Amino acid sequence: MANFSEAEIREVVTRVLGNMQPAAPAPKDWDSKHYGSRKFVGIYDDMNEAIKAAEAGYRAVRAMSVEQREKIITEIRRLTREEAPVMAALGVAETGMGRVDHKQAKHLLVADKTPGTEDIVSNAKTGDNGLTLVEMAPFGVVGAITPSTNPSETVICNSIGMIAAGNGVVFNPHPNAIATSNYAVDLVNRACKLGGGPDVLVCSMVKPTLDSAAIMQSHPLIRLLVCTGGPGVVRAVLSSGKKAIGAGAGNPPVIVDDTADIEKAGKDIIDGCTFDNNLPCIAEKEVFAFNNIADKLIAAMLRSGAYLIDAAQADELAKIVLVEKTDKNGKVKKIVNRDCVGRDAAVLLEKIGVKAGKDIRCIVCETGFDHPFVQEELMMPILPIVRVKDIDEAIDLAVKAEHGNRHTAHMHSKNIDNLSRFARAVETTIFVKNAPSYAGIGFGGEGHATFTIAGPTGEGITSARSFTRQRRCVMADSFRII
């Protein structure tokens, strides 16, 4: 009988587990402190305690070599691959949002394509006056706020980058995804121990609140804030007085002109728009299609699992998926109905009395530019299509629909002038040409992965180096070899 190494056995188990859809875990089996019989490590009732523990973890990691840090990251990648099915099922069970198969794929992407310590590169400058070194140092303890839309994915992706940079981390996760986020915090601590690190390196709360976020934002041991979420929380961390990285909301438009491969554009757009039921902030949110190809594009989308609703049905659905809320200044605003975010297209269609088959994964409709489906970031598999007469009108409306977030935009075209014009005008952090949106975070596109895309503060597709501070060391008049 062949002898299999531990690595080979692990590989087979991972593959088998990856192909199985675990049943949704029963709610009695998990909460913010445990999963099944496992009690999570690194979870605290009090934010001050959590920060103290992360600081101790940071001190321990500071004393370790970069090679040892990389061992911890290797273990995080391994456990993430092995436990992706569990986290995917838990994420859907807890939040009610997204799709288990796509969430699994997101975890594998994070495990495989989030950069580690290789991302930290020192610089040297030599000259008549000697040698100057610039090294990328850790901040210390990072305070991170994470969303409900990619909860464990963001915790793991942030942890890999922040630990590679030599930091400890305290998370204040979204309360609606606390069990899933804390599962990931525990996974990182288990990996840390297996990799020879301290027992606790990343921490989180039993019950995160706006108050615990406020303690984190003002605590002297927190040297860097990293926030992934909507406009409210990005505003809060940017006004904290600390160095902050803000990864905020988007509303990615897609332009399709009449030089595009229309069949492929239709399929790519539906693939991107429906990925994890449209939860990723980079996913296609509204389409501007040249009038002369719009019918063909819609037909291609219908062949790719879209269901076309008419204008009256779109208005009826808008009244369900968007609700009115009065803000503290008495202004009435439309906000997304949380019960509809990240739900399957069939579930949303049922709300307007349409029974759709299992193969339907997206709702498409023709609307005007002012329709709320175009203007609001829905995060649901609903895709409005606006007809435009030419590239000038397409760019003008798409830039307006992006609302100055400068987050993500997409275009399907073979006309390099049109592609360049839109890219220049929209000024987004990510611009994807002729592919589904997820190519922009390394899924079928070149480049590393992240779930924290920092447009407002400029770090872009964050990675380990984003969580470092530069330090310079000068040796005057010596240490040249020429």
Number of residues that bind ligand NAD (CB under 6 A): 26
Minimum CB distance to ligand NAD, residue 174 (Å):
4
Nearest to 42 by CA among 27, 28, 52: 52
Please report, as residue ranges, which positions from 196 to 235 form the binding site for ligand NAD (by CB under 6 A): 210, 213, 228-230, 232-233
The answer to whether residue 248 forms part of the interface with ligand NAD (CB under 6 A) is yes
Cβ closest to ligand NAD, residue 273 vs residue 289: 273
- Which of 32, 104, 149, 437 forms a contact with ligand NAD (CB under 6 A)? 149
Minimum CB distance to ligand NAD, residue 247 (Å):
3
- Which of 57, 98, 138, 147 forms a contact with ligand NAD (CB under 6 A)? 147
Q: Which residues touch 144 (CB under 8 Å, ≥6 apart)?
A: 155, 158, 162, 169, 170, 171, 172, 225, 226, 227, 228
CA 217 to chain centroid, in Å, comes to 22
- Which of 79, 90, 269, 281 forms a contact with ligand NAD (CB under 6 A)? 281
CA separation for the pair 306, 315 (Å, rounded): 18
Does residue 8 contact residue 15 with C-beta atoms inside 8 Å?
Answer: no
CA separation for the pair 65, 128 (Å, rounded): 32
- Which of 114, 150, 278, 428 forms a contact with ligand NAD (CB under 6 A)? 150
CA separation for the pair 143, 216 (Å, rounded): 6
Cβ closest to ligand NAD, residue 81 vs residue 174: 174
Residue 404: both structure tokens together: 């100055």
The answer to whether residue 180 forms part of the interface with ligand NAD (CB under 6 A) is no
- Which of 148, 274, 278, 428 forms a contact with ligand NAD (CB under 6 A)? 148
The answer to whether residue 250 forms part of the interface with ligand NAD (CB under 6 A) is yes
Cβ closest to ligand NAD, residue 149 vs residue 468: 149
- Which of 116, 173, 266, 342 forms a contact with ligand NAD (CB under 6 A)? 173
The span of 28-36, 141-149, 286-294, 304-312 binding ligand NAD (CB under 6 A) equals 141-149
The answer to whether residue 146 forms part of the interface with ligand NAD (CB under 6 A) is yes
Cβ closest to ligand NAD, residue 245 vs residue 294: 245
CA separation for the pair 284, 265 (Å, rounded): 12
Minimum CB distance to ligand NAD, residue 153 (Å):
9
- Which of 452, 463, 466, 468 forms a contact with ligand NAD (CB under 6 A)? 452
Minimum CB distance to ligand NAD, residue 375 (Å):
14
The span of 66-74, 143-151, 197-205, 412-420 binding ligand NAD (CB under 6 A) equals 143-151
Residues in a beta bridge with 363:
307, 382
The answer to whether residue 453 forms part of the interface with ligand NAD (CB under 6 A) is yes
Instruction: State whether the Cα torsion 177-342-346-430 is positive or negative.
Output: negative
Distances (CA, A) of 298 to 145, 260, 469: 39, 14, 48
Please report, as residue ranges, which positions from 359 to 378 form the binding site for ligand NAD (by CB under 6 A): 377
Cβ closest to ligand NAD, residue 236 vs residue 273: 236
Nearest to 465 by CA among 17, 92, 30, 123: 123
The span of 102-110, 194-202, 248-256, 297-305 binding ligand NAD (CB under 6 A) equals 248-256
Please report, as residue ranges, which positions from 104 to 123 form the binding site for ligand NAD (by CB under 6 A): none
Cβ closest to ligand NAD, residue 222 vs residue 289: 222
Cβ closest to ligand NAD, residue 104 vs residue 149: 149
- Which of 249, 260, 322, 388 forms a contact with ligand NAD (CB under 6 A)? 249
Cβ closest to ligand NAD, residue 360 vs residue 453: 453
Cβ closest to ligand NAD, residue 117 vs residue 228: 228
CA 193 to chain centroid, in Å, comes to 26
**Backbone φ, ψ for residue 449 (5° rounding):** -105, 150
| Residue of closest CB approach to ligand NAD | 229
Minimum CB distance to ligand NAD, residue 148 (Å):
4
The answer to whether residue 254 forms part of the interface with ligand NAD (CB under 6 A) is no
Cβ closest to ligand NAD, residue 160 vs residue 391: 160
Nearest to 243 by CA among 22, 457, 88: 457
The span of 56-64, 187-195, 264-272, 449-457 binding ligand NAD (CB under 6 A) equals 449-457
Nearest to 256 by CA among 342, 349, 336, 364: 364
Q: Which residues bind ligand NAD (CB under 6 A)?
A: 145-150, 173-175, 210, 213, 228-230, 232-233, 236, 247-250, 281, 377, 451-453
